[in-house]
Chain A
C-alpha cells in the first residue's frame, strides 16, 4: 500500500466534473475494497466542525431547548481549517478551549409585530474561518427558528471537531454515488427483465468510459473491477476536492496505525509503549 502513492500502477483519480458542492471522479487501478473504504471514510470519518454544546441563557421561543440545540447541531459550518483543531478528548483543556472549539453567540429579540425569522448566518462566530455555510454572499443561511413579538433567544454555542461516526451532524457528505462495471462485464449483476435486458436496463453515462466485452468471448471469471465512478455531494462544510483528499489521508493514517500495530505484534521486543501492568499481556 505504501508504494502506491508514487507508483505509476497505483490508484489514479481523474476528475470529470467539479463545482462548489459536488465532485464527479473516476478512481482507477485499485481494488474494490479500497474504493469502498474511500466511500465509507468520506461518509463517516472525515472530521468537520459542528455545534456540539449549546448554553441557553434565555429561550422564550416556541422551540424547546433540545429542539433548538438539535437544529443548531445540524447547521453545516465551514471546516477547511478543521485540521488546526484538536479533538476535545485529545485536548489538554478541561472543558473546551480555542484549540479544540469555536464559540458562537446568538442573541435575538423580536420587537416588531409579526414574526422574526432567525437565520444561521446570525450566529456570531469567534473564529472567522468557521462560520455557517452559505450559498453566496446574499444567502442568509438556514432558518433556525421564528420568533413572535416579545420572544427572545440568547444562546452560546460551542462547535467542536468530530466525525460522523459519532453523530451525522459531522458528516461532510450529502449523497455519495458509487458505481463500477457499467456494462456488467464481470457479471456481478444478474439483470431482472421481462423481455429484453438492453431495453429495460438503460446504460448509465459511465458506460462511455468502458468497452463492453464481446458477448461471444469466453467469460473471464477471474477478472476484478478496477475502475470506480464516484459522484460525491457535500453539505458545504468542506470543498468536494478537499473532502476526497482528506478522506484518503484519514484512510492512510488508519492503515498506518494498523501497519504499526502489526509490526509491534510481530516484534514484541521493539515495543516501547507496551505497558507491563496491562492485564491481558
Chain B
C-alpha cells in the first residue's frame, strides 16, 4: 500500500510512545520472520491468501499481487476511498485502528462503551425504504436485462424491438416489493443479507396516547433472550434524549425505548461542503502527514463521519470556529463537532440516525435568549425555528453534548457554562409527560403509568366519529385533567383527553375494596362517569365467483303466513340493518347468501340444468348486551369485490370488574357500586365518585398522587387548573394556602360523616379530585362461562377460548391438586366424562378395539367388552396403528 519501512509503520501506529512501540514489536518481528521484505513479496503473499473472489468465469487469471491490490483497494475497509491508487488514507486508517487496539490493551478505559448512546445510530423509515428500493431497483434492472437478452437472442429480428413492452410486463415489481415489505414488515435485502421481520407495525389508534407513544418508539436490535443487563440499563447518556420512564415491562424491558419530548433524529448531510469548510479552517490533509506529526503532542486528528480528514494543531480554535459557522447557518444545523480528549481527535458527524436535542446557547456566562426574545415569542413574532436561525438555540447530539457544559437552570450558569437547558421536564417523553409530579413518584410507577396511559379510553382524534376502525373505544364525557403538565399542553392531550376528574376519598369502605379494588358511586355512573362507547367493525364481502355465480344480499325471508322470522326482524328490504337499529343477541344485520358449492361448480353460472343453490352466510350480532348499528358502508375492495362494512356501537357504563387507573401506575378494578346516600360525605355535602383504599399508598410510594389530590382539590376550590409538571408544577405550599383560604384543612383531609349511620367517620379522610382513566379491559369483553357447547372435530374435546364458546380448562396444575387431594372420581369426571368420553368395544383375547360384539382381528364375537375411554385416547391408538404400532388393551377385573 505504499508503506514499506518498519519505521514508517511503527511511527504511524505508535507515534513516539515507547509503550506502544514495545507492544508493536512482536508484530514487526513476525513480519521480518516471514521473510517478506519487498512490497511485491508482501502483495504476492496476500494474493495467495485471497480466495477465488467472485472472479467471473472466463476472465483471465490475474497475478496474485493484482488480486491483492484489488482486495486491498475495494474490499478491506471499503468505506475509505482509494483514489488513483493512492493508499495513503487507507494506511493511516489501518494504522489508527491498530493504535486503538494498542490503546485498549494498555489502558482499560480506552475501550468504547457499546451501550453509549453516542455510539448508536437509529434506522429511520427513509433509510430503510431507500435500502429496499435500491435492492428492488437492482433486481428490476437485472431482470429487465435478462428478459431483453432473452428476446434479442431469438433469431427472428423481424419486428422492431421495444423495451417498453418488457418494462410493462415487470412494471410493478418495485411497487409490489415495497407494498409487500411495508404491509408484512419483512425486510429482506440481498445486499446486506438482511432478513428482518417486524420492521413495520400497524399504528395503534386505540387512543391518542397509544398512537403518539408508538410514533416515538425505538426498538433495539439486541436479542431479547440474552441475559445481559447493559443494553437494558438506563444509560447516563440518554438523559434528555430517551425517556427514562417509558419502557415496557417484561422481556422487552429496556430494549424498547421512547424518544424524549424535544429530540430530533438527524438525516444524512452532504459531506463535501463540510470537508471544504474543515480544510478552510486549517485542517491539514492526511496524505501530507507523517506518523510523527500525526501523534505529536497538541495535534488532533480530524474525523468526518469516521473517515480521517487530516490533523489540526489548534483543535479548540477549530471546533470553536466550526460551531460559529454552524450557528450562523453556514453549516447544516445538525452537523455535530466535538473533541475527544482521550484519543486526541476531533469528530465531525453529519450522518443520519443520531439523536439530538435543542439547547440554549450561553456565551460568557450569559444566556443568549433575553427577555426580548421571549416577549417576541409570546407575541408570535418569533417561532422556535427563528431561534435556531438566529443562533440562540442549537441542536446537540449525544457526543457534542458530552463536550459541553450544560446548566439546568439560568441561575446555575457559571463562567464556563456553554449551554443551558430549555426545560428539564423535556427529558421525559410524551407518554410519561402526562404524569403529574412524576419526580415525587417511585420510578417504576411512572413506567407502569407509561404502559397504562396507552390503554386509557378517551378521545382519539378529531375525526373519531367519521372513522371506521376495527375496534374503537371512546369516552362519552372526556375531561382534561385538573392537574395538567406542560407536556400535556404541548402534545394537546388537553384537547384529546382520556379520563375524567373524579372526587376521590382515600378510606376503606365495605370490604369490597381490598387488593386495589375501587368503590364507585352509583349516582356518578348514572350521571355519566366513566361511560364509554365501543365501536366495532364487521366486514362482509359479496363475492363473485369464477364460474359466474355470486353472493347475494336479500331482504328478510317470510314464513307461509307472511311473517318475518324473529332473528330477521331488523333486516330491511335491502338485506341490511339500517344505522340506528338496535340489535339483540342472535339478530341478523346482514342477510347474505352464498352459492352452496363455494363457486366451484363449473356449470352453475352458465345457466346449467339446475338453478344455483344458496346457503345462508349472514352476519349475526353475537354479544350478550345489545348494540346499535352506527354506520353502514358499501364499497369495493382493490379486486373489485363489493364490501359491506358495519360499524356496531355499544354504550357501556362501568360495571363490577371494569378496570380504572389514576395517572400514577395505580390500577384497580371496580369492586362495588354503592348508592350515593350510603356513601360518606363532607359537611359541605361533597360525595366521592370513587373511594380508594389507603393500602395502595405505603408500598407504592406514589407521593405524586398525593400531591395531585391536593393540587386538584385546590384547583377545584379556586376554579383554576393546576400544573404538576415534572421538576416544577404548582407548589404544595401554594396549594395548601388555597385550601386554608377556602376553609379546608391544608392537609387535604376533611371531617366526613358516614352515609349509613350519620355519625362522623372515626378518621379524617384525605380527599380531592383526581384524574382517573378508564382502561380498555372491560368485563363485558371478557366474561365467559359454559356448561355445554361446541367440541373440536378431531378430538371431540370442548373447544378452547371465549370466541369459540370454549370450555374452561382444568389444567396441569389443577390436575395435580386433585391428584394430591385424592379426588379420583372428580378427576375422572372432569378429564373424561365431562370432556370426550367414548365407548369402545375391546376384545379381551387380542386386546384390540373392535366392533360391538365382534372382533375383526380374532374373527370372533366371544370376548368383547365395552369400556369408556377418552376419544383422544382412541384417536391415539388409531394413529399409532397407522404407523405400525399396535397398542393392546389388557383387560382385568377390579
Interface residues of A (CB under 8 A from B): 32-33, 35-36, 39-40, 43-44, 56, 59, 62, 64-67, 70, 74, 164-165, 167-169, 171, 174-179, 188-190, 192, 200-202, 204, 231, 233
Contact = CB atoms under 8 A, between A and B. Distances in A.
Interface in B641-685: 649, 651, 675-678, 681, 683-685
Contacts of B683: 177-179, 204
A67 B374 CA distance: 45
Contact of B762 (A43, A67, A190, A233): A190
Contact of A44 (B676, B681, B753): B676
Contacts of A165: 675
The 5 closest A-B CB pairs, nearest first, are A36-B758, A175-B685, A168-B526, A168-B523, A40-B677
B758 A32 contact: yes
Given A168-B523, A178-B683, A44 B628 contact: no
A67 B749 CA distance: 36
B743 interface: yes
Interface residues of B, number: 37
Given A44-B677, A64-B630, 5 more contacts: A43-B676, A169-B526, A177-B684, A179-B753, A233-B685
A189 B762 CA distance: 7
A70, A165, A167, most chain B CB atoms within 10 A? A70
Contact of A67 (B476, B522, B751, B753): B476
A190 B651 CA distance: 45
Contact of B759 (A32, A167, A190, A233): A32
A178 B685 contact: yes
Contacts of B681: 176, 178
B526 A39 contact: no
Contact of A188 (B476, B685, B743, B760): B760
Interface of B: 465, 476, 522-524, 526-528, 531, 533, 580, 628, 630, 649, 651, 675-678, 681, 683-686, 743, 745, 747, 749, 751, 753, 755, 757-760, 762, 764
A79 B846 CA distance: 88
Contacts, number: 86
Contacts of A176: 681, 685
10 contacts: A44-B676, A64-B533, A67-B476, A70-B531, A74-B527, A74-B528, A165-B675, A168-B527, A189-B751, A192-B764
Q: Is the interface of B mostly helix, strand, loop or mixed?
A: loop
B745 A200 contact: yes
A226 B25 CA distance: 104
A168 B681 CA distance: 17
B753 to A, nearest CB: 6
B674 to A, nearest CB: 12
B677 A39 contact: yes
B743 A168 contact: no
Contacts of A192: 747, 749, 764
Contacts of B751: 189
A177 to B, nearest CB: 4
Contact of B628 (A65, A74, A179, A189): A65
B48 to A, nearest CB: 80
A40 B675 CA distance: 10
A16 to B, nearest CB: 15
Nearest to A45: B677
B758 A70 contact: no
A164 B523 contact: yes
A188 B758 contact: no
B675 to A, nearest CB: 7
Given A44-B675, A231-B685, A178 B753 contact: yes
B758 A35 contact: yes
Contact of B526 (A32, A167, A178, A202): A167
A2 B572 CA distance: 62
Contacts of A44: 675-677
B475 to A, nearest CB: 11
B684 A168 contact: no
A136 to B, nearest CB: 23
Given A59-B580, A169-B526, A178-B685, A188 B628 contact: no
B252 to A, nearest CB: 38
Nearest to A174: B685
B651 A67 contact: yes
B764 A36 contact: no
B527 A188 contact: no
A164 B676 CA distance: 9
Contacts of B651: 64, 66-67, 70
B148 to A, nearest CB: 59
Contacts of A65: 580, 628
A56 B524 CA distance: 26
A178 B757 CA distance: 12
Nearest to A56: B580
Contact of B685 (A56, A164, A177, A190): A177
Contacts of A177: 683-685
Contact of B743 (A35, A40, A178, A202): A202
A75 B461 CA distance: 29
A64 to B, nearest CB: 6
A36 B685 contact: no
Contacts of B531: 70
Contacts of B630: 64
Given A66-B651, A67-B476, A175 B757 contact: no
Nearest to B523: A168
Contacts of A164: 523, 676
A189 B755 contact: no
Contact of A39 (B523, B528, B628, B758): B758
A62 B459 CA distance: 14
A176 B523 CA distance: 14
Contacts of A59: 580
Given A168-B526, A176-B685, A36 B757 contact: yes
Most buried by A among B465, B522, B676, B758: B758
Contacts of A201: 745
A37 B523 CA distance: 18
Nearest to B676: A43
A174 B675 CA distance: 15
A199 to B, nearest CB: 11
B581 to A, nearest CB: 10
Contacts of A188: 759-760
B758 A33 contact: yes
B164 to A, nearest CB: 51
Nearest to A59: B580
Nearest to A178: B753
Most B-side CB within 10 Å, residue of A43, A164, A189, A204 = A43
B408 to A, nearest CB: 34
B879 to A, nearest CB: 54
A40 B685 contact: no
